[in-house]
Amino acid sequence: MKSVSEAAGLGKPVLGICNGFQVLCETQLLPGALVRNEKRKFIDKWVDLKLQNKPKWGGLESIRLPIAHGEGRFYAESDEVKRLWDQKQVWLTYRENPNGALDDIAGVSNRDGNVCGLMPHPERP
């Protein structure tokens, strides 16, 4: 993780998908945490997402991606969630929340916008 942290510090883009998102949160490169799904069941289905704020490298307005996780529910303290919205760090939200994530959050970025994490799997067709 040292090289990832160094790259992020230099402003290079870093993307964490699913477990990678969890790791970025656990190493504090991203805010919040990913916890057990609300109904404590593994979810494997397609979801619709809405782009809230574009990361530095751009993005789409909306997208449909698969999810496959048992610990994919975004969580942060209420003041942290407010700060994420205020500082435009909420990247993606679920149109229909599948796992109980706070404020429907599916992805967040760091303050600089170069480190992003999302729970859905864009690499999984």
What CATH class is the domain 2-118?
Answer: alpha beta
Give residue for tokens 């679920």: 94
The confidence score (pLDDT) of residue 78 equals 95
Neighbours of 2 (CB within 10 A): 7
**What's the Cα-to-Cα distance from 74 to each of 9, 62, 83, 99, rounded to whole Å?**
24, 19, 15, 9
Q: Residue 63: what pLDDT?
A: 81
- pLDDT grade for 61, boundaries at 50, 70 and 90: low
- pLDDT tens digits along 14-30: 999 988 999 999 999 99
Catalytic machinery residues: 18, 121, 123
Q: Three-state SS for 52?
A: coil
CA distances from 50 to 8, 53, 62, 65 (A): 25, 9, 5, 11
Sheet holding 90-94, edge to edge: 14-17, 115-118, 105-109, 90-94, 43-51, 62-69
